[in-house]
Amino acid sequence: MNKAELIKHLADNADVSNKQAEAVLNALTTTILDVIQAGGELAITDIGKFGSSERAERAGRNPATGEAITIAAKRVPHFSAAKALKDAAAR
């Protein structure tokens, strides 16, 4: 399912226009991105938790030359699926 199909599905199930469904989907996406960027966590019951975590600086190797390099620390997004979502996927 792509974004356009999701908007149509939301509009049909929520009995709203496609434009309203798209506005809600865009607001949700923006909210998730804002929370992750701020370093917070957003939990949606029956779906899961969106968040971010810090990766520490670490040593690595350049595969082309074999030279040792330092990989910089960074923040990475993560998602933890809720039990209801895992159960739905298992059916």
Residue 4 pLDDT: 95
Decide: 79 and 53 in contact? Cβ < 8 Å: no
Which amino acid does the sequence have at 45?
T
pLDDT tens for residues 31-47? 999 999 999 999 999 99
Taking the complete model, does pTM exceed 0.85, yes or no?
no
pLDDT tens for residues 46-64? 999 999 999 999 999 999 9
Give me the chain's average pLDDT, please. 94
Stretch 60-72: mean pLDDT: 94
Stretch 19-32: mean pLDDT: 96
Residue 59 pLDDT: 95
Residue 80 pLDDT: 95
Whole-number Cα distances in Å, 52 to 32, 60, 71, 80: 11, 22, 18, 11
Q: Over the chain, what HEC string results?
A: CCHHHHHHHHHHHHCCCHHHHHHHHHHHHHHHHHHHHCCCCEEECCCEEEEEEEECCEEEECCCCCCEEEECCEEEEEEEECHHHHHHHHC
